[in-house]
Structure 1
Amino acid sequence: MENIAEGFKGERAIVTPYNIREYQSRNDITKLLYVTHIGYYPEAKHHYRKREQGANENILIYCDKGKGWIELDTTRVQLRQNTIYIIPANTPHAYGADRHDPWSILWLHFKGEKVDMFKTILGKLIYLHDTDSKNYKDRSLLFEEMFQNLEMGYNPENMEYVSFCLMYFLASVKYLPQYQEVKDLKIDNVIKKCIFFMKDNIENKISLDDIAQSVGFSVSHL
């Protein structure tokens, strides 16, 4: 089968119109950083894309499952689950899915006046060494928020919100230790609260429901 750039079963994609991008480049908030393309390709078998002149935007590829590769000049990097690579704007490149274990990817194109804030993570393979699934889920939900808000329409509030989401998403990658520490701290605090509650009620007969209520969680979240 021939290599294909898009058209995968279950794919989702949004490409903002050029007049919207023009507005984004002038709005006081969105001009800092804004999304021009965003999507999800599940199990993208035979996925392949080559841009000999590069793209006008930076391209973020977040490998959700499977494997794939990105090639810039003579350098090829391998992506696997929970890795991110951002291809810098105007950089010739090619990328594609692994033949035997094709990737599922979240991807977006972005640009703006403040891209340099994140220049340290451009053109670099980032391993998201998250210690639990919640960090992964938080990023996925943030990506979904960007997608859904653009899907709902290109009014200023939606686009401004997406820009702030994009900044946070990129910050969670650039400042990976800080992002992880805060998430781990929240989990650690819940565990400590559970322990204190059990100690305070050591002489009482308490249930899992009682413990969950004491920390404001449902039983399924403990």
Structure 2
Amino acid sequence: MFRRRNPLSRTHRVLNFFWPSIGWRRAGSYSLHRLARLPGSAYSIAAGFACGAAISFTPFVGLHFILSAILAWIIRANILASAIGTAVGNPWTFPFIWTWLYQTGTWLTAGEVLSGDKTPQFSEVFGNMMEATLRLDMVYLMETVAPIFWPMLASSVPTGLMIWGVFYFPLKYVVGRYQDRRALKMAGNNGDQEPLQ
């Protein structure tokens, strides 16, 4: 029930995630509709999504799901909504997120911002960081990762707080209105039913 007659292939689902075939506007509206139907209060859903979005603005690549779930659990928010919120960080947005975190973090820590050909190759650094951690390659971690990671971490705190608010307040309003309309509709449908004899 409610399944496609012709299921999408895995490749098509991946492509559809990065470039929705129904268009960005309809995809956004559909995602918001599904988000609002999650169990929980408007606060729980909005705060959960905001946690996922905020954690996406941290340099802990590969740990966003776990960290957003922990943060959501701490503030009693919806953990599933937090997982959905991590989609704010994706291959389209990560280059901008990482550049923002590095540039502002370097400014906050009064460091020297690399430019031109010296701009960090974030994808390569984060990819190698996991391997270096498993190998306990302290030379690579201290000389290559640390000068990039620490400024980004410093910037992620104020940025994450700002992003949390940017998503939480509008979502709480929208989800709250959706839930109120749905409750009224369900109450009306129940009232239209004839009582059993």
Fold-level similarity (TM above 0.5)? no
Normalized per residue, which structure has more strand? 1
TM-score bucket (shorter structure): under 0.3
Normalized per residue, which structure has more helix? 2
**Superposition TM-score, scaled by structure 2 size:** 0.26
Report 1 or 2 for greater relative contact order, CA contacts < 8 Å, sequence distance ≥ 6.
Answer: 2
